[in-house]
Amino acid sequence: MAPMSTPTRRPTWRGDVSGSPASRRVNRSGDVTSSVTMDPAGHPEKLPRPVCGIDSEAVYGSILQESPQEGCSPAGSPSPKNVTVAREKNAARQFLWLTQESVMMKADASSLPLPLAAVLAPFADSADCTSLPLSDVGAEEPLRCPRCRCYVNPHFRWSLRNAQKFECNMCGHNLDVPETFLEEMELNGQTADEDHHPELVFGSVDFTAEGFSDDRPTGSSVPLVCFAIETSAAAVASGFTPAVLDALEQAFDVEELPLERPVCFLTYDDEEVTFYAPTRSGRFRSVAMTDLDEPFLPLHMNQMLLDLADTEGQAMVLDMICNLRQVLCTGDSSSSATRTSGASSPSFCLEEESPASERRSSGRAALRLAVEALSGGAGGDVLLFQASSTWSASPKASASASPRKAPALPADASPKALPREELAADNFLEETRLACIRGGVAISCVTAPALPEHVDAAQLHWLPFRTGGDTLHLPSFSSASATLLTCQVGHWLKKMQASAYRCVVKLRCSKGLQCRDLVAPWPAAASSEDRSAFELPRISPDTSVAFILRPDYDAESDEDYRKERRYPCVQAAILYTNTKGERLLRTHTSSMGIATSVRQVFQHINIAPLMTVLLKQAATLALDQSSVAKPTLPGDFLLEFCLQVLSTYRRKCVDWASSSKALVIGRRLLLLPIYVLVARKLLYSVSSMEDKEQAEETLQRLLRMPIHSAMAALYPRVYPLPAPVHDGADLPRSSPAMEEQVSRGPSAAYLITNGLGIWYHQTGAGTPEGESDLRANAVKLAERIREELQPSPAWAPLVELSRLPDSLATPQAAGDESPSKGRPRFGSQSPSKGRTPGSGGRTPSACTSDSISWPEKVLLSTLFVEDEGVTEMSYAQWVEFLFEQVGLMLPPA
């Protein structure tokens, strides 16, 4: 076994990653074990609320420093040195975070409403990041247990029966150790060496997988990118095609490119698909495919590629975009592109608009050819830009499709939110998905349909979210939409550069644990009965999934675990290809302690991954509301869970009674009430959107959102302006998410963000120069917020929050009879019609009425979450309501 190839691939953990159960024991006399009370009759600002930052380092690094306690872990009290080593043995929280730090193996724990789950974000640091150590195993396979098939990890130990064997921490099996492995271990005195064997030191590690991986690509070893652009008459006339070309030109006409990979271009209109290939003379040759029923690639993939990794390739890409703009948008055929075709076809020109059925076949052919072109190599991304429902199912197919099955909820309080077991309304979608899985191709789609057309949201998002891609829906395309398109495309390109491709994911549990379910937009592998494995063409840094786990209460008692000095453990193994074409295997391993009582279980709850799992399950329920006769509403599901947890804690962990109307709760669950309240408001806001495509898109993003993004969405931050925005400056201290803090606060303006969007509100009129400075400061602070939220699912737009109920301006003039329902995008002067403001802030328009519309009231209720809104009660009222409901659930004294 060779040493690490590059010394730069050393772990650079930021902050405390807290992995070992031994380092997380709790002192009974400390504050962590004590219960607290929440008094709704007190001042609202005294109620608990999140105080940490919104960046990933603040969310994953803010842990409690706790002293050891007996009975919580099988290991003895560690020394400070052992504590540091033990924390490195577990994967960092941004990669793998469990909802419980300790699990109770007794049968009494089966009635607890607390779900045991693991939130996995395997590439939170990007697939090309060198922060993880690399173990170069050459042509061999990494050492693994022959019984349970888990890979070697820091929790392996020497067998007490045979000093030449390892004991597997997952199943207890004694496995043979190769001679070379033993020799290298003997050089270090039988201890782990992070240079030769980092897999025995760190909980997260990469292995080289070129030797034992049998799925090598036959073509290019580097993931590619294909831009498929619709150039029909409708797309050009609406301005969508020119805006797409402008967005790509702005993305690539920079010194530091967001994407450094080979790319290719194809266009499609009502009758044909056109491919473009560079020539030796610096010109471009176009080849048209007119056979849309049985399309085939007229050129080899290598002939169409332009490499962005070098300066010459970047210049050729920009020339290609300019040529496409000249030929496709102006109809000028005297460009540097020469045209050839295998069949008789007229010269290239803009055609009359064709019926939707004809355009549909053209779009399907373009998508099929793009996937086929990239499947021959290491996979990659297809960016489909379309102005019509070109690859959606036909109306007849949609009408005859089988209904979707909703997730079945068990009787207990930790529901099993299954992903939708959908049948594709058209075989084309399912066949394309399977082709993408085999070829490692992810599809991302930007749609800007014309007003008369209707696009089914389920069909629109079916392929992108099941291949690891993204979607952006832009109805009523306008200049404001073009700005959002440019920013979103740039964000996507950065995600592609940091993504992993041709991914195979498997979660393994130690003896005594079972995987019960997978919560993700895509289904589990057909061969995985416990839903612990799946394949995905692409996993981006902002993608996370949740595995629902279940202890096997009949296996062994907690006394057996303490006697053998073992503790439960989970390991995620991901086989993937990075953007450099290297085939690697990444493992994340985390362990848990053994809790001996219900009180200790509640003392070791991790609220951040717990709420992320609940939000994903609620989003799954919201996506399946139309498929069952009596659906369980997401808000009811969250309320039932909150009541079950609070009543169980009050009944089993509190031996005293409060004399006042106060809610008794544990410190680890202190933020559960506010998080559940905000989740209910957020899901109602999404479900009430008039634009169902936008609602579907937002729910799908929630379903694969990482933990730090979910925490930002579950409590908006209010930042005063002006704020320091120089290099190295921290974000200003946020105010409580109450309308009074904004409308009557001391600052001249405020920024409100929940990660899905950023809103600007100015409290009063000022001088033009002062207002201009405030807006410039808001733009810079918004950019800082986007940087702090990375990795993020989408680019957060900055929009105007012009009116609040406490700061309404004078009524509108009598001549204005039809006020708009939205608000303007930040800095916009003209309103945009026909768009409902949502949590994503698509294209709002100016509010000219003295009253606020219902959609705006719903949005304000989502932002100022502690106030009483149109969808839910206030924070104080919510705490009082929970206290009354918990009292009804408790047995009489």
Distance CA 646, CA 59 (A): 24
The answer to whether position 746 is within a domain reads yes
Edge-to-edge, what's the strand order for the sheet holding 545-551? 96-98, 116-120, 545-551, 513-519
Contact 741, 717 (CB under 8 A): no
The DSSP letter of residue 699 is H
In this structure, the answer to whether residues 164 and 242 fall within a common structural domain is no
Contact 743, 804 (CB under 8 A): yes
Least confident of 414-423, 689-698, 884-893: 414-423
831: pLDDT strictly greater than 60:
no
**834, two tokens:** 């026909």
**869, two tokens:** 């809104």
In this structure, the answer to whether residues 305 and 435 fall within a common structural domain is yes
Whole-structure pTM value: 0.84
The CATH number of the domain holding residue 479 is 3.40.50.410
Distance CA 249, CA 243 (A): 10
Distance CA 404, CA 400 (A): 12
In this structure, the answer to whether residues 627 and 480 fall within a common structural domain is no
The answer to whether position 520 is within a domain reads yes
**What SS3 state is found at 743?**
helix
In this structure, the answer to whether residues 134 and 209 fall within a common structural domain is yes
Task: Please write the tens of the pLDDT for every residue from 301-318.
Answer: 889 999 998 888 899 999
Distance CA 334, CA 322 (A): 13
Distance CA 600, CA 195 (A): 38
Residue predicted with more confidence, 133 or 452: 133
Of all residues in the chain, what percent carry a pLDDT higher than 70? Answer: 74
Q: Which domain holds residue 636?
A: 606-715+865-892
Per-position DSSP letters for 389-436, written without gaps between them: -SSSPPHHHHHTSPPPBPPPP-SSSS---PPPBPPPSSHHHHHHHHHH
pLDDT class of 98 with cuts at 50, 70, 90: very high
Q: CB neighbours of 303 closer than 8 A, spacing ≥ 6?
A: 277
In this structure, the answer to whether residues 467 and 612 fall within a common structural domain is no
- How do 471-473 and 441-447 pair as beta strands? parallel
The CATH number of the domain holding residue 880 is 1.20.120.730
Domain end residue (candidates: 805, 820, 838): 805
Of 200-214, 489-503, 689-703, 837-851, give the range with the top mean pLDDT: 489-503
The reported pLDDT for the residue numbered 218 is 58
**629, two tokens:** 């006769």
The answer to whether position 852 is within a domain reads no
Closest-CA residue to 68 (of 109, 112, 27):
27
The reported pLDDT for the residue numbered 315 is 92
Count the domains in the chain. 4
Task: Please write the tens of the pLDDT for every residue from 121-148.
Answer: 999 999 987 789 999 888 888 999 999 9
Task: Please write the tens of the pLDDT for every residue from 256-272.
Answer: 899 999 999 999 988 89
**16, two tokens:** 């405390």
**634, two tokens:** 């997401």
The answer to whether position 165 is within a domain reads yes
The answer to whether position 2 is within a domain reads no
In this structure, the answer to whether residues 544 and 621 fall within a common structural domain is no
* CB neighbours of residue 396 within 10 Å: 10
**What SS3 state is found at 594?**
strand
Closest-CA residue to 448 (of 384, 367, 352, 371):
384
Domain end residue (candidates: 781, 805, 829): 805
The CATH number of the domain holding residue 549 is 2.60.40.1670
The reported pLDDT for the residue numbered 537 is 97
The answer to whether position 12 is within a domain reads no
The DSSP letter of residue 560 is H
In this structure, the answer to whether residues 731 and 682 fall within a common structural domain is no
In this structure, the answer to whether residues 313 and 434 fall within a common structural domain is yes
Domain end residue (candidates: 543, 573, 596): 596
In this structure, the answer to whether residues 479 and 367 fall within a common structural domain is yes
With helix as H, strand as E and coil as C, how does 595-623 read? Answer: CCCHHHHHHCECHHHHHHHHHHHHHHHHH
Task: Please write the tens of the pLDDT for every residue from 701-754.
Answer: 999 999 999 999 999 999 999 999 988 889 999 999 999 999 888 999 999 999
112: pLDDT strictly greater than 80:
yes
Per-position DSSP letters for 212-250, written without gaps between them: T-----SS-SS-EEEEEEE--HHHHHTTHHHHHHHHHHH
Distance CA 743, CA 870 (A): 18
Task: Please write the tens of the pLDDT for every residue from 648-678.
Answer: 999 888 876 655 678 889 899 999 999 999 9
- Region 222-230: mean pLDDT is 94
In this structure, the answer to whether residues 384 and 285 fall within a common structural domain is yes
Average pLDDT, the chain: 79
Distance CA 586, CA 765 (A): 55
In this structure, the answer to whether residues 682 and 623 fall within a common structural domain is yes
**773 phi and psi angles, rounded to 5 deg:** -65, -40
Q: What share of the chain is helix, strand, coil (3-state, %, to 5)?
A: 30, 20, 50
The answer to whether position 795 is within a domain reads yes
Q: How far is CA 504 from CA 36, 161, 636, in A?
A: 44, 35, 35
Least confident of 13-22, 79-88, 643-652, 719-728: 13-22
Contact 317, 262 (CB under 8 A): no
In this structure, the answer to whether residues 873 and 761 fall within a common structural domain is no
The answer to whether position 659 is within a domain reads yes
